[in-house]
Structure 1
Amino acid sequence: MHRAAVAEVFVTDAVALGRDCFLVGSQWPRDHALYHPDAHRGSDPLLFAETIRQALVYLAHWHYEVPLSHRFVGYDMDFEITDPGALRVGGRPMPVVLEARWQWTDRRPPRRYGARIEVGLSVGGRSCGRGSLRVVALDERSYRIVRGRVGRAESGAVACGEPHRRVEPGLVGRLRHKDSVLVHGSTAGEWLLRPDPEHAILFDHPTDHLPLMVLLEGFRQLGHLTAHAATAQPGGPALALVSAAVDCLAFGELDAPTRLVVAEDETAAETRSGHRLRLGALQGDTLIASCASVWAPVRHVTGGDRPVGPPVPCQA
Structure 2
Amino acid sequence: MATDTTGKIDMAAGTPEELTGLLVRKTVRNEALIASWDQVRHATQAVTGRWPVEHHFYVRGRHYSPLLVTETIRQALALLTHTTHEIPLNHRLGWESVRCDVDPRALAVGGEPAEIELLITHTGVTRRRLGSVHLSARVGVLRDGAHLATAELKYTTHPPAIYDRLRGEYADAREAFARALPLTPPAPPSRVGVKAVKDVVLTPTDTPHTWTLRLDTSHPVLFDHPHDHVPGMVLLEAAGQAAHARFMSRSSTAVCFDTAFLRYVEFDQPCLITAEPAEPDAWGRNRVKVSAAQAGRVAFTSTVTSEPTVARR
What TM-score results when the alignment is normalised by the length of structure 2?
A: 0.86
Select between 150-159 and 9-18 the one with higher mean Cα deviation. Answer: 150-159
SS in 2 for 1:145: helix
* Residue 264 of structure 2 is aligned to residue 251 of structure 1: yes
SS in 1 for 2:304: strand
Q: 1:282 to 1:106 in 2, by over 3 A?
A: same
* Residue 20 of structure 2 is aligned to residue 9 of structure 1: no
SS in 1 for 2:237: helix
Identity %: 28
SS in 2 for 1:148: helix
2:296 corresponds to which of 277, 285, 290: 285
Gaps of 5+ in 2: 1-23
Q: Structure 1 residue 226: deviation in Å?
A: 1.0
1:27 corresponds to which of 50, 53, 56: 50
Q: Structure 1 residue 175: deviation in Å?
A: 1.0
The match for 2:124 is 104
Q: Structure 1 residue 266: deviation in Å?
A: 4.5
The match for 1:193 is 213
* Residue 302 of structure 2 is aligned to residue 294 of structure 1: no
Work out the number of aligned pairs and report it.
288
Contact 2:57/2:199 (<8 A) preserved: yes
Q: Structure 1 residue 69: deviation in Å?
A: 1.0
The match for 1:87 is 107
Q: Structure 1 residue 108: deviation in Å?
A: 2.4
The match for 2:164 is 144
Q: Structure 1 residue 298: deviation in Å?
A: 2.0
Which letter does structure 1 place at the counterpart of 2:43? D
Q: Structure 1 residue 88: deviation in Å?
A: 2.0
Select between 190-199 and 248-257 the one with higher mean Cα deviation. Answer: 190-199
Which letter does structure 2 place at the counterpart of 1:115? L
Q: 1:135 to 1:275 in 2, by over 3 A?
A: same
Q: Structure 1 residue 79: deviation in Å?
A: 0.4
**Cα distance in 2 between the residues matched to 1:195 and 1:126:** 36
**Cα distance in 1 between the residues matched to 2:87 and 2:129:** 9
Match runs of 1:1-316 below 5 Å: 1-37=24-60, 39=61, 41-81=62-102, 83-108=103-128, 111-149=131-169, 153-162=175-184, 165-228=185-248, 238-266=251-279, 273-301=284-312
**Cα distance in 2 between the residues matched to 1:150 and 1:200:** 22
User: How far does the alpha carbon of each residue in 1:77-115 deviate from its partner, in whole angstroms, 9 at most, with x for none?
Assistant: 11001x322332111110010111013343126721211
Q: 1:177 to 1:109 in 2, by over 3 A?
A: same
Q: Structure 1 residue 150: deviation in Å?
A: 6.2
User: How far does the alpha carbon of each residue in 1:125-152 deviate from its partner, in whole angstroms, 9 at most, with x for none?
Assistant: 2222101222111111110122233665
Which letter does structure 2 place at the counterpart of 1:193? L
Q: Structure 1 residue 159: deviation in Å?
A: 2.4
Contact 1:192/1:257 (<8 A) preserved: yes
Contact 1:28/1:96 (<8 A) preserved: yes
User: How far does the alpha carbon of each residue in 1:190-232 deviate from its partner, in whole angstroms, 9 at most, with x for none?
Assistant: 111112121111111111111100101111111111113xxx6
Contact 1:277/1:292 (<8 A) preserved: yes
**Cα distance in 1 between the residues matched to 2:49 and 2:78:** 14
Contact 1:76/1:248 (<8 A) preserved: yes
**Cα distance in 2 between the residues matched to 1:292 and 1:282:** 15
Which letter does structure 2 place at the counterpart of 1:283? Q
**Cα distance in 2 between the residues matched to 1:174 and 1:282:** 23
Select between 119-128 and 200-209 the one with higher mean Cα deviation. Answer: 119-128
Q: Structure 1 residue 4: deviation in Å?
A: 0.8
The match for 2:20 is none
Q: CA RMSD in A?
A: 2.1
Q: 1:4 to 1:110 in 2, by over 3 A?
A: farther
User: How far does the alpha carbon of each residue in 1:49-71 deviate from its partner, in whole angstroms, 9 at most, with x for none?
Assistant: 00111111000111111111111
Gaps of 5+ in 1: 303-316
Return the structure number with greater relative CO, CA threshold 8 A, min gap 6. Answer: 1
